[in-house]
Structure 1
Amino acid sequence: MKISVRNLEPTKVRLTITVENDELKPYLDKARTDIAKQVNIPGFRKGHVPGKLVEQRFGFGAIAGEAVQDAVPEFYDKAVQEKDLRPMDQPKLDVKDIPDTEDSDTKLKFTAEVEVRPKFDLPELSDLTIEIPAAEVTDDDVNQRLESLRKSYATLASVDRPAAKDDFTNIDLTARIDDEVVDSQEGVSYQLGSGTMLDGMDEALEGLSAGEETTFEGTLEAGEHEGEKAQITVKVNSVKEEQLPELNDEFATEASEYDTLDEFKEQLRKDSAEVAEARQATEARDAFLAKLEGDIEIAVPKGLKEKLTEQNLGAVVADPKKATKEQKQEAEEQAEKQLRDQILLDAITEKLDVKVSQSDVINFLASVAQQYGMDPNQFISSVVRNGQLPGAAQEVARSKGLLAAMRAVTFQHDGEDVDLSKFLGEEEEQVENEAKAEEEASVQAAEAAAAVAAEASDKAEEAKED
């Protein structure tokens, strides 16, 4: 096999691959066998037709065409490995030449255009010292948590006054375009200042009492007339204000297991400290990635960036074509950051020779299933069946690579080392935990594989019956 590589872009290459006849021969033989299993020729049992007879009957072109379908992807994979490339997307394959006989001077020749991970040098991680914010807990942190809990015990009371910010209202809405009613709703609950309804709603409601109404112009945000201007009439049915319980020992008893407010506050301070430590670990992760991405020039594949930008836009607006300039820019910046992170973490994973065990993947998939309230075995079976297992393994590898890299780095605040082992774990501990989880994961993996095998068997039986 001969391979030539041409750089089309910093992250895109074109491989030109020429396959020798003796390398293609096993694929030709397999193609003859496969075709023989599918055809009926008088005098021969199905599946026992000689390969030469198959070629005489259907022509070498049919044999070669079948062989190329299997050969091209496999020779592409070999070429990628030989040239030490890291593809980030599916290749665009184009077959240029196919031999017309088994001994033809014309060789199988094809090209493959693919976006690849750029090459760059990573610094020695153990030499890095990164400054991060302190995990501080202030009185404001405690008071905010206390106020949030207090609001959860609030009650609503009707008031005989105009609506004001933070009040809860019950309203009727009617939208008209050219004097035609295009939408109407009754008994809608809305809190002034929440911003969960039409622009201009807060201004229209503020100052209105129960029984009063007003009309303002607004832009409809859903339905058949989405994006169109309409005259919105809003009528206030009732106004209620939020009444918070007093902060005292009685509230502490009701809201917690503590008898006094001081004891409750102390527990909230401890809870806030744990939150602050977790936030510090997240800030350390972000600072670590920012440090490397700031020091290393990482080119981002254009095609993948466009695809990911489109996906990000689809999560924000129903029709990406209607997205605003700001939304498009934000989606593009997000896509570029996502790709830089992936590229960097893949390089780290490779540099640190991170290994992903069966238990790692199974535990990851089980946690995802739990998040969505799904049965782990059914979810794992679905992942295996849909060919998504390699992607899951890659995500696990990136996560493990990030933790391993952060364990090698020194994090400091004001010149003092910060211990993040609570969140990063210790390498010895990781190995021990993986060993314990491997046996359980093997059982789960076997169950998942059995489920997929059972389904395949059922389908095979159905095919036989048909």
Structure 2
Amino acid sequence: MELKNTEKLEHSQVKLTIAVSAEELDKAKDAAYKKSKNQIQVPGFRRGKAPRKVIEKLYGEGVFLEDALNIVYPEVYPKAVEEAGITPVGAATVDVDNMTAEGFDFICTVPVEPEVTMGQYKGVEAEKADATVTEDDIKAELDRLAQRAASTETVERAAALGDTVVIDFEGFVDGEAFEGGKGEDFNLKLGSGTFIPGFEDQLVGKSAGEDCDVNVTFPEEYQAEELAGKPAVFKCTVKSVMETILPEMDDEFAKDVSEFETLEELKKDTESKIAESKKNAADRDFEEKILDKVLEGMEADIPEAMYESQLDNIMQDYGYRVQQQGIKLEDYVKQMGMEMSAFRNIFRDQAERQVKVQLAMKKIAELENIEPSEEDMNAEYDRLAEMYGLEVEKVRQFVPEDSIKSDLTMSKTMEMLKENAVVVAKAAE
């Protein structure tokens, strides 16, 4: 094997011209012959006993060529990559050229990690939301708890927002009933936003025993494409009206909905949880805002292979999660009425951003000489061991040091960016 030429191409690709000698090719052909000779029938020979030259004469000189190329390529390609001093970030595109009696060339177009140039990353301005917990926040959460603990009571009056109505309904588009548009004894809470916009409002004021037509238009983004954007009429019968009875906000309520004995204890716990949630949300949003500014100043000619690889990772993760629900990703996508390519494309922007963030953070860590100490590494292994209830040595077997180092480097780099960012108060919404 000889690396004849290395040429840089656009979009962070490198073309390698790898010369393979006639001797190397002949050796690979011999390996291909030995691998497949038992599957080749030659008149006058027992299966597997025909010499290679006889088979080549009968079926042509190229009978073992394709298999030979597949054998020799993984032998010479890694050596060429190492000699060229490049780090591939995806599979190479491979062509065969200059096939002569002396050998041939592999022409490999290899995607590599791009050169990254950073603009300003220290002192960038970024909005940070106020994480203060208000009385309204606490009240809203207690109200949600009360709604979950509420009971209902049938009433002899017209339905109002907040009531639950029991209805029979059937929907029609252009005078024709459609699949999934019919229901009986359906409990619908008015104001919940469960049905198509405008549906619930038209049941306000209706009483048990009333029939009515509900006129709505399906949203343009409706999941059933054949109904999207179309006007529909639902013929409804109100069978009963039920009023929601909320519990009193007192110590008994606290005991019913939590492990606390008093309402005051429940309020304090609620405040603490909301504070933690708002702080975490504000921190995540702050980090994203910083990254937005950092990426604005980054320059990199990113190869398509990096985006595709990240898309593969996202799809693999998504597939694992839906499989936990007992369904294959392919079937899940079909149920959504989509082609796999269209579903994959939904995550395109996410994949591109993730790749850019990874490249930017890696470059910043390099510029700032950020890397975790041995103490940091040990502490992280200890944390994981405690989290999973395993011995530290077991965790070290399952989680490679490179993975831990990469995660900690990313985390420390993010902390540096946050410490140096200029915080701008987020305007009230």
Q: Identify the TM-score tier after normalising by the shorter chain.
A: 0.5 to 0.7
Distance of aligned partners of 1:349 and 1:62 in 2 relative to their CA distance in 1, 3 Å threshold: farther
Amino acid at match of 1:216: N
1:61-72 mapped onto 2 (5 Å cutoff): 61-72=62-73
Amino acid at match of 1:336: E
Counterpart among 3, 6, 9 of residue 5 in structure 2: 3
Counterpart among 273, 276, 281 of residue 275 in structure 2: 273
**Superposed displacement of residue 120, structure 1:** 0.3
1:218 aligns with: 217
TM-score (norm: length of structure 2): 0.66
Percent identical residues: 27
Amino acid at match of 2:256: E
Supply the distance in 1 between the matched residues of 2:193 and 2:69 (Cα, whole angstroms).
60
How many residue pairs match? The answer is: 377
Supply the distance in 2 between the matched residues of 1:240 and 1:234 (Cα, whole angstroms).
17
1:153 aligns with: 149
Is contact 2:116-2:359 (8 Å) kept?
no
1:319 and 2:335 aligned: no
Amino acid at match of 1:318: G
Supply the distance in 2 between the matched residues of 1:209 and 1:348 (Cα, whole angstroms).
66
1:191 aligns with: 189
Distance of aligned partners of 1:110 and 1:160 in 2 relative to their CA distance in 1, 3 Å threshold: farther
Distance of aligned partners of 1:53 and 1:134 in 2 relative to their CA distance in 1, 3 Å threshold: farther
Distance of aligned partners of 1:156 and 1:119 in 2 relative to their CA distance in 1, 3 Å threshold: farther
1:170 and 2:161 aligned: no
1:336 aligns with: 352
SS at match of 2:138: helix
Range that drifts further, 15-24 or 229-238 = 15-24
Supply the distance in 1 between the matched residues of 2:39 and 2:92 (Cα, whole angstroms).
30
Is contact 2:117-2:300 (8 Å) kept?
no
1:402 and 2:402 aligned: no
Supply the distance in 2 between the matched residues of 1:243 and 1:412 (Cα, whole angstroms).
52
**Superposed displacement of residue 244, structure 1:** 1.9
Which of the two has greater helix per residue?
Answer: 1
Supply the distance in 1 between the matched residues of 2:292 and 2:7 (Cα, whole angstroms).
32
**Superposed displacement of residue 246, structure 1:** 1.7
Distance of aligned partners of 1:303 and 1:222 in 2 relative to their CA distance in 1, 3 Å threshold: same
Distance of aligned partners of 1:345 and 1:234 in 2 relative to their CA distance in 1, 3 Å threshold: farther
Is contact 2:307-2:352 (8 Å) kept?
yes
Runs of 5+ consecutive residues of structure 2 not aligned to the other structure: 319-332, 389-397, 424-429
TM-score (norm: length of structure 1): 0.62
Supply the distance in 1 between the matched residues of 2:335 and 2:401 (Cα, whole angstroms).
28
1:380 aligns with: none
Distance of aligned partners of 1:180 and 1:345 in 2 relative to their CA distance in 1, 3 Å threshold: same
**Superposed displacement of residue 148, structure 1:** 2.4
Supply the distance in 2 between the matched residues of 1:393 and 1:174 (Cα, whole angstroms).
60
Is contact 1:3-1:18 (8 Å) kept?
no
**Superposed displacement of residue 11, structure 1:** 4.4
Is contact 1:288-1:406 (8 Å) kept?
no
Supply the distance in 2 between the matched residues of 1:399 and 1:173 (Cα, whole angstroms).
54
**Superposed displacement of residue 286, structure 1:** 2.4
Supply the distance in 2 between the matched residues of 1:340 and 1:315 (Cα, whole angstroms).
31
Runs of 5+ consecutive residues of structure 1 not aligned to the other structure: 368-388, 416-466
SS at match of 2:269: helix
Is contact 2:116-2:360 (8 Å) kept?
no
SS at match of 2:114: coil
Amino acid at match of 1:93: V
SS at match of 2:357: helix
**Superposed displacement of residue 353, structure 1:** 7.6
Q: CA deviation digits over 1:271-312, x for unaligned, max 9?
A: 333334433543454245334323312445457768959979
Distance of aligned partners of 1:414 and 1:89 in 2 relative to their CA distance in 1, 3 Å threshold: closer
Supply the distance in 2 between the matched residues of 1:178 and 1:301 (Cα, whole angstroms).
50
Distance of aligned partners of 1:59 and 1:199 in 2 relative to their CA distance in 1, 3 Å threshold: same
Distance of aligned partners of 1:402 and 1:16 in 2 relative to their CA distance in 1, 3 Å threshold: same
**Superposed displacement of residue 152, structure 1:** 1.8
Is contact 2:133-2:274 (8 Å) kept?
yes
Q: CA deviation digits over 1:50-101, x for unaligned, max 9?
A: 76676666654223321101223454444444445554444433333444xx
Is contact 2:163-2:241 (8 Å) kept?
yes
SS at match of 1:216: strand
Q: CA deviation digits over 1:170-226, x for unaligned, max 9?
A: 222212344333342222222333333234313432332322212415339566954
Q: CA RMSD in A?
A: 5.0
Distance of aligned partners of 1:171 and 1:407 in 2 relative to their CA distance in 1, 3 Å threshold: same
Counterpart among 250, 253, 256 of residue 251 in structure 1: 253
Supply the distance in 1 between the matched residues of 2:237 and 2:355 (Cα, whole angstroms).
49
Is contact 1:130-1:411 (8 Å) kept?
no
**Superposed displacement of residue 46, structure 1:** 7.7
